[in-house]
Structures are given as C-alpha cells and as structure tokens.
C-alpha cells in the first residue's frame, strides 16, 4: 500500500526525504489540511455562541466530529467524547478531576515504560495530596510483568487507577491490554489507557477501559487537538479542570453551575479547526481501514527490525520482541545525537535522545537512543534508505 500521494509534504519539494519520525507526529494528508484551510477561509467563526450562518456551520461541523470519534473507538454516547489539546491534556484531566480528592490511601499503578505525560501528572498529584504511585517493571523480553501487577493490585487499600500505554513509544511492544483490563477490574480498579501510539494503528475498543486518551497529530490529524474518552458518569459530577466560557450553565458572583458532559471539560475557545480537521483524518483512516494500516505497519516494523538486527554495530532494544510502528536502537560506540545528525544530512529523519520516556531508557539502555517510526506512507524502500545511510554513518563514526 503506498499512500504517499495523499501527502503534499511527501511530493514535489520533499520527494528525497525519508520521514521516520511518525511516533513523534504523523504527517497530515491533504484532505485534512484542505479542510482546515476551508474553515479559516469560508466559515471562520466561534462555536456554541453566535446564531449567524458561519457560527452555526462551525458549531455543526465541530459537534459532528463527536459521533465520528465515538464510532471510531467503539464508545456508546457522544457525551463520552471530550475534545482536548492532546494525550497530555487528557491524562491531566483524569488526574486532576477524577482523582481530585485522592490521598495517600489511594494508588495509581503505572508501567515502567510510560511516556512522561503518564508519569508527571501523577507525581504532581502525589506532591499535593500524597497519592501512592506503584511502578510495574517490564520483563527482560520487554513485556509487562503481570505477576508484579497482580501483587501490586492486591496490596491496594483504597481507590486505584491503573494507567498504562497500550503501545509504549519507547519500546514499540504492544501491552496485553485485555489482561491488564481484566486484572484491574477484577480488583475494582479504574483503567486509563494511553492510546497515543495504539489508536493510529490498532482497532480501539473502549469496553476494556474507563478512560482512553489520544492525540490528533499522531493519527494524521492536526496538532493541538486530542480526545479524552470518559465512560458514562465517571466525570459528570467531578470538579472541572479549567474554568471559563462554555463550561458553565450559569454564572453569578455568588455561585456558578457547571455545564454537562462533555462541554464541562472544554473551557474557553477550543481548537475548532483542529477538531474539524481531526474528523476528516479519522474518516480518512476509516476509509483505508485500521486493519490495513495495522497490517502495513506490522510488515514495515518486522522488516525494519530484521534489517537493523542484521547490522553488527547496531543494538535493537528488546531485539526478539515483535514491534509495531517503531524500532528503538543504538549504534555501539557512537552518540545517538551524532548518528541522527548525520542521518539527517542524508535526508533520513529519525528521533534521538530519551523519547520523553527517560525512566525506561535510563534503566534499560543508560543513554539516549535512536528511534525509527512509521506511518501508512512508510515503504520498505524508506527502510532500505535508512540502512544504507546508517552504513555510511558507521563508516565515519
């Protein structure tokens, strides 16, 4: 499947560029950028406020994205879909609203492989309220240690939320999220899944969780927009995270009453063009078929891992484990940032450093890494270009 032609950025000017940084942000197809341009050029108005034609059209298109998202992730109701600025925002809402009164009796359980977005909000809550944080390590093969998860859940005394990434951005190894869900729910724990990397490439099913968060810009949509799925009733009565316009029913200096779900958590003017663009991106993905995207990325990931494993000086993180969407590696006796810089001079864009997942990389690798990550437009030819470029880099360094 070659979808490069749908992406303006991959044609004409940039046909020599190999973009292998889709886990950081995916490229955006022309249908999405066109739609964003159309909003600004044809009906650039605020939502939920005006009664003029442009405002009505903007409101209709914005609200029309909720059912698209609902279908895409298998939710039951539009009101379970909150528009956020991204995965980070979604996790912060859950930490600050759902867990607003949690104390040292209550526990959040994370895996060792979390992105900073699923670590720092919990640390902030702990600093304020004393919440317990339990971290479940990975096994030597890169999979979650379920014995440790079971032990941790059984020791919980108060309330518990298990918050984990379905596809960690620093390992590329799928979490057995069904098992995490079952184990957590058997013990009455709430489940939050970070779907930043999984939603763009694996069919999502929110029946396995209470909360699901993801970002538009990793699923071929715009930056600055994302989704928080919150199961019915979970956030309806919670204190909202941000106060302001649109999240209220009535305001008096004596007392304010808050809006219903989902607007309760959409204070102020949101990213209207971003939400509308995200709707187009999800329809575009739906047309290709998420199973086809999964299949394509599986093949590319297997191929990339095999090629990288075949290079003498390259060490792949968890070299035997199946990867999806990305492969993390280092070049022996070379700094990752130097390798990435030299790859860039050959037109190959990869990510280097700690990938916003310092804990796992510090413990497993002990230094910055390189990450090649893929999208629907990535071809085997792109991987061959990476390998050729790496061979040239290794001849110099």
Ligand X SMILES: Cc1ncc(COP(=O)(O)O)c(C=O)c1O
Active site residues: 356
Is residue 112 near ligand X by the rule CB under 6 A?
no
Q: What is the total count of residues that contact ligand X (CB under 6 A)?
A: 14
Is residue 115 near ligand X by the rule CB under 6 A?
yes
Instruction: Centre a 10 Å sphere on the Cβ of residue 9 and count the other Cβ atoms it contains.
Output: 16
Cβ 165 to ligand X, closest distance in Å? 4
Binding track over 27-66 against ligand X, x by CB under 6 A: ----------------------------------------
If the CB atoms of residues 43 and 222 are measured against ligand X, the closer one turns out to be: 222
- Considering only residues 160 to 179 of the shown chain, the ones binding ligand X according to CB under 6 A are 165, 168-169
- Measured CA to CA in angstroms, residue 30 lies from 10, 11, 180, 216, 219 at distances of 11, 11, 38, 15, 14
- Measured CA to CA in angstroms, residue 230 lies from 35, 115, 291, 299, 375 at distances of 27, 20, 25, 33, 27
Q: How many whole angstroms separate alpha carbon 228 and alpha carbon 213?
A: 5
Report the residue from 26, 47, 79, 86 that binds ligand X according to the rule CB under 6 A.
Answer: 86
Is residue 270 near ligand X by the rule CB under 6 A?
no
Report the residue from 88, 184, 307, 373 that binds ligand X according to the rule CB under 6 A.
Answer: 88
Instruction: Centre a 10 Å sphere on the Cβ of residue 164 and count the other Cβ atoms it contains.
Output: 24
The burial of 314, by beta-carbon neighbours within 10 Å (0-12 exposed, 13-18 middle, 19 or more buried), is given as buried
Report the residue from 22, 87, 171, 301 that binds ligand X according to the rule CB under 6 A.
Answer: 87
If the CB atoms of residues 165 and 307 are measured against ligand X, the closer one turns out to be: 165
- Measured CA to CA in angstroms, residue 301 lies from 121, 172, 296 at distances of 31, 9, 9
Binding track over 204-223 against ligand X, x by CB under 6 A: -----------x--------
Which stretches of the chain bind ligand X, using CB under 6 A?
23, 86-88, 115, 117, 165, 168-169, 194, 196-197, 215, 356
């Amino acid at each position: 499947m070659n979808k490069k032609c749908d992406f303006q950025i991959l044609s004409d000017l940039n046909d020599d560029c190999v973009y292998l940084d889709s886990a950081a942000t995916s490229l955006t197809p022309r249908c999405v950028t066109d739609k964003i341009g159309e909003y600004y050029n044809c009906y650039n108005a605020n939502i939920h406020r005006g009664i003029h034609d442009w405002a009505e059209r903007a409101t209709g298109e914005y609200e029309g994205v909720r059912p698209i998202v609902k279908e895409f992730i298998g939710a039951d109701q539009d009101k379970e879909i909150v528009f956020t600025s991204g995965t980070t925002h979604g996790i912060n809402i859950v930490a600050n609203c759902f867990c607003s009164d949690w104390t040292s009796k209550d526990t959040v359980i994370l895996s060792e492989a979390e992105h900073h977005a699923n670590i720092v909000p919990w640390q902030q809550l702990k600093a304020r309220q004393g919440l317990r944080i339990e971290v479940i390590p990975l096994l030597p093969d890169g999979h979650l240690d379920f014995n440790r998860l079971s032990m941790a859940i059984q020791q919980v005394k108060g309330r518990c939320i298990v918050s984990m990434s379905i596809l960690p951005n620093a390992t590329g190894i799928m979490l057995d999220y069904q098992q995490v869900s079952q184990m957590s729910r058997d013990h009455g724990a709430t489940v939050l899944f970070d779907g930043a990397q999984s939603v763009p490439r694996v069919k999502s099913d929110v029946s396995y969780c209470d909360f699901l968060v993801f970002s538009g810009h990793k699923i071929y949509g715009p930056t600055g927009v994302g989704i928080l799925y919150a199961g019915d009733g979970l956030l309806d009565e919670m204190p909202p995270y941000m106060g302001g316009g649109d999240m209220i029913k009535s305001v008096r200096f004596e007392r304010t009453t808050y809006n219903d779900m989902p607007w309760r958590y959409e204070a102020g003017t949101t990213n209207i063009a971003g939400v509308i663009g995200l709707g187009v991106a999800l329809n575009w993905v739906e047309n290709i078929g998420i199973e086809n995207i999964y299949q394509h990325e599986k093949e590319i990931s297997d191929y990339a891992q095999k090629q990288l494993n075949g290079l003498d000086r390259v060490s792949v993180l968890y070299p035997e484990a199946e990867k999806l969407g990305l492969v993390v590696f280092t070049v022996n006796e070379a700094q990752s940032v130097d390798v990435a810089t030299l790859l860039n001079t050959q037109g190959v864009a990869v990510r280097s450093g700690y990938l916003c997942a310092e804990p796992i990389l510090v413990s497993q690798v002990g230094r910055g890494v390189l990450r090649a990550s893929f999208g629907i437009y990535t071809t085997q030819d792109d991987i061959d270009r990476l390998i050729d470029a790496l061979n040239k880099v290794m001849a110099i360094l």
